[in-house]
Amino acid sequence: MAYCQFLQPPLAGADYIKFSEYLHARQRVRVTVHGLIDSGLTEKRIFFFISKLRKGNDMTKTEQNLLEAFAGESQANRRYLAFAKRAKKEGYPQVAKLFRAVAEAETVHALAHLRVLGQVKSTAENLKEAIEGETHEFTNMYPAMIDIAKEEGNKAAVLTFSYANQVEKVHAGLYQKALDNMAALEETDCHVCAVCGYTCENEPPNRCPVCGAKSQAFCKVD
């Protein structure tokens, strides 16, 4: 899920704490996402601070622009798909179709930027990176988000963060299984819970183990 997880290595330890405190102090963004963040603070400030923490590992201006464009296009894709669902619900099928079409175009742009950055590697390398990203989310990112949401009394945010936190651990496990069995991985169906995102192989359970939704809430991924 993290847009910027391809920056390696991720911030950790003292640097992670420094970065979190830096963002906290400005009351713009509260947590990091695999070394960066997913929204709030301007990318320009993010890049500036990262360069301060990592001397000698700075990105060029064009690389920064590619990264900013990748994040922007990725967010636009998700946002437009959400807009499409609302338009369909409100009875505007053509508007919904337009949102979906532009969302697909934004995906084309995002993938092109990521490719130029050289961050689409071998499948084994991509799986390892995905495991790192998912692990970061359920061990560092979401626990911090949940604590803050509880402090602020935002129950809806606590719920959605908690769902995601549990599911990211499942994702890491599925990726690890795929990595460990790449040469003999059997083809199976994959299903995703439309309520919390829980992902499973083969048939969906009668009840989602994360949110409790019935099996009818699961959709098959082609």
Q: Which two tokens stand for residue 205?
A: 């359970």
Instruction: Tell me which architecture the domain covering 186-221 has in CATH.
Output: Single Sheet (2.20)
- Cα 177 to Cα 27, 33, 108, 171: the distances in Å are 39, 24, 29, 10
Domain boundaries, the chain: 186-221
Among the residue ranges 56-60, 179-183, 208-212, the one predicted with the least confidence is 56-60
Strands 218-221 and 199-201: unpaired
Decide: helix, strand or coil at residue 187: coil
Average pLDDT score, the chain: 82
Q: 169 and 133 in contact (C-beta within 8 Å)?
A: no
Decide: helix, strand or coil at residue 64: helix
pLDDT tens digits, one per residue of 67-82: 899 999 999 999 999 9
Per-residue pLDDT band at 18 (split at 50, 70, 90): low
Cα separation, 212 vs 178, whole angstroms: 26
Report the pLDDT value the prediction gives residue 70, as an integer from 0 to 100: 93
Most confidently predicted of 18-32, 42-56, 72-86: 72-86
Q: Give the whole-number percent of the chain exceeding pLDDT 90.
A: 66
Strands 199-201 and 190-193: antiparallel
pLDDT tens digits, one per residue of 196-217: 999 999 999 999 999 999 999 9
pLDDT at 44 > cutoff 50: no
Q: Give the whole-number percent of the chain exceeding pLDDT 70.
A: 74
**Better-predicted residue by pLDDT, 123 or 43:** 123
pLDDT tens digits, one per residue of 153-171: 999 999 999 999 999 999 9
Residues 48-63 have a mean pLDDT of 60
Report the pLDDT value the prediction gives residue 84, as an integer from 0 to 100: 97
Q: Using alpha carbons only, what angle is made at residue 36 by residues 34 and 38, rounded to the nearest 5 degrees? A: 95
pLDDT at 90 > cutoff 70: yes
Residues 112-131 have a mean pLDDT of 93
